[in-house]
Amino acid sequence: MKCVFRLRKSQSDTPTSIYLDINHKNHRRKFGLGLSIHPDLWDSKKQEAVLTGSKFKKHAKGNPILRTELQNLNAKLGEIRQEAQDYQLRAQLEKKAISANGLQEFLKNELRENRARNQTPFLTEYYEVIYLKGIEDGSITYHKNGERRQYAPSTIKVKRQSLNALKKYEKETRSRIRFENLDLYWYEDFTNNLMEMGYKQNYIGRLIKEIKVILRRTYEEGIHGNQIFQNSKFATLTEKTKSVYLTDKELEKLEAIPLAGKDRIYRDMFLIGCYTAMRFGDYSTLDTNNIITINKDKYIVKITEKTGEKVIVPLHPFVEKTLNDEAYRNRNKVYPQKLNKRIKQFAKEAGITQEEELIENVKGQKVFKRVPKYRLISSHTARRTGATLLYLNDVPSIDIMKITGHKSEKSFLRYIRVTHEQVAKRMSTNRFFKPLKAV
């Protein structure tokens, strides 16, 4: 029986997985080890990590604990070699047949028992059984402005989605995530795998952020001693996304298309979001009970789902008309995924088809694309549209922030979508740029 450690991608520029190639009487099996290494640091003849040489020195410059990490890796490979030898020796002593399948199952069982005795829990198990369950039942909270708060249903939903994505990664790669195995090599392998699976960089960044939250929490609880979450290279990936807003004329076009039944409800709900600048979870649940009158003026009042704060917005005529419409009042619950799909179609029918330049990160490379604007519209576009149009119509940023919930003007100005030309045109109306009157 021949057993050889091999790299999944020996020509890769980033860390790649190590697997055991088992070959016996023309029967081959690949056994994933849950280990990874940069090809520069791998000796294919010795089948182990190199601890000297120019390439090692190059990688060690950015990682002061590289030698210790590689020594631990070689120790794990040595243990697996010993397990493979033990399998063959036991089979001979017990006069049992040796096979590639037999060794694969033996290693699975041995490694599983070793991990049960010596290793920390799986990250996804802790995430689901302890962390997420605690958030859902209210036993795990967070603090803000000196107050103890429970997580909002929308936040819990996002965390549940992150857990499902991590489980999918484990299933696709056939490797479980252990706290003590999380290092910069794992980080590179994880992010590269997800990019190859088609995930966007911002989505991957969200998963990294959740992993760092769990790592820090379990470290503080004494479950492990891994402080990789403090390493600046174990970073949350982000990229600037292409977000759009609709102009006044585009809103008029959208409102003008003839729709009936559920389609009209979807379209009208989106427009309500544009005229209130609220989040989907808030504008999708508005009804006539949210309308109040103050000194003969009408407003929409809402306790926001995410922050629990009160928001008051002047009542737009379209919003008042729609909330009083019988069909809209009797609507069934609308889910954002359904609205996202339908609003794109409505925008296309309304002629909102001009091309927008889009920059995407595809497998680590920036790719420039041009896509029709309607494809970039989603349920969240409504909130961004409302905030941007209010700003362009000279409503002070501090007042709009009371609706959107932004805590700083800097973050608010990053959120809205205003071009340099629009800012210049808006400024041109200021008396500062007008000629002085003759005395």
- Report the mean per-residue pLDDT for the chain: 84
How far is CA 370 from its chain centroid?
24
Q: Residue 430: which residues within 8 A CB-CB, separation 6 or more?
A: none
Residue 178: the pLDDT is 84
Going by DSSP bridges, is the β-strand pair 310-314/297-303 parallel, antiparallel, or unpaired? Answer: antiparallel
Q: 134 vs 253, which has greater pLDDT?
A: 253
Per the model's pLDDT, the better-predicted residue between 175 and 47 turns out to be: 47
Confidence of residue 419 (pLDDT cuts 50, 70, 90): low
Joined tokens for residue 439? 């005395």
> What is the mean pLDDT of the segment spanning 36-56?
91
How confident is the model at residue 414, as a pLDDT? 74
Describe the crossing of helices 201-220 and 184-196 by its angle, rounded to 10 degrees: 150
C-alpha–C-alpha distance, residues 339 and 320, integer Å: 21
Among 71-75, 142-146, 336-340, name the one with the lowest average pLDDT.
142-146
Confidence (pLDDT) at 98: 83
pLDDT for position 120: 65
Using CA atoms, how far apart are residues 150 and 125, in angstroms rounded to an integer?
22
Instruction: Identify the pLDDT of residue 305.
Output: 81
Residue 384 token pair: 């961004």
Is the distance from CB of 84 to CB of 4 less than 8 angstroms? no
Task: Check residue 122 and give its pLDDT.
Answer: 84
Query: Can you give the pTM of this predicted structure?
Result: 0.54
Cα separation, 58 vs 39, whole angstroms: 13
138: alpha, beta or left? (left if phi > 0; alpha if psi -120 to 50) = left
Residue 2's closest CA among 17, 30, 21, 15? 21
Higher pLDDT, 438 or 1: 1
**pLDDT at res. 361:** 58
DSSP assignments along 269-326, one per residue: HHHHHHHHT--HHHHTT--GGGEEEETTEEEEEEE-TTT--EEEEEPPHHHHHHHT-H
Inform me whether the pLDDT recorded for 366 exceeds 80.
Answer: no
What pLDDT is attached to residue 251? Answer: 96
What is the spatial distance between Cα 389 and Cα 369, in angstroms, rounded to a whole number? 26
Q: Which domains can be identified in the chain, with CATH numbers?
A: 2-118 (no CATH), 123-230 (1.10.150), 248-431 (1.10.443.10)
**CA 404 to chain centroid:** 21
Q: Please tell me whether residue 359 adopts helix, strand or coil conformation.
A: strand
Task: Return the HEC string of 52-71.
Answer: CCHHHHHHHCCCCCHHHHHH
**pLDDT, position 240:** 59
Q: What percent of the chain has pLDDT over 90?
A: 27
pLDDT at 348 over 90: yes
The better pLDDT of the pair 174, 253 is held by 253
The CA R_g of the chain, rounded to the nearest whole Å, is 29
Longest dimension (CA), the chain: 113
Pairs from 151-156 (Cβ < 8 Å, separation ≥ 24): 152/305, 152/306, 152/307, 152/308, 153/281, 153/305, 154/279, 154/281, 154/305, 154/306, 155/306, 156/132
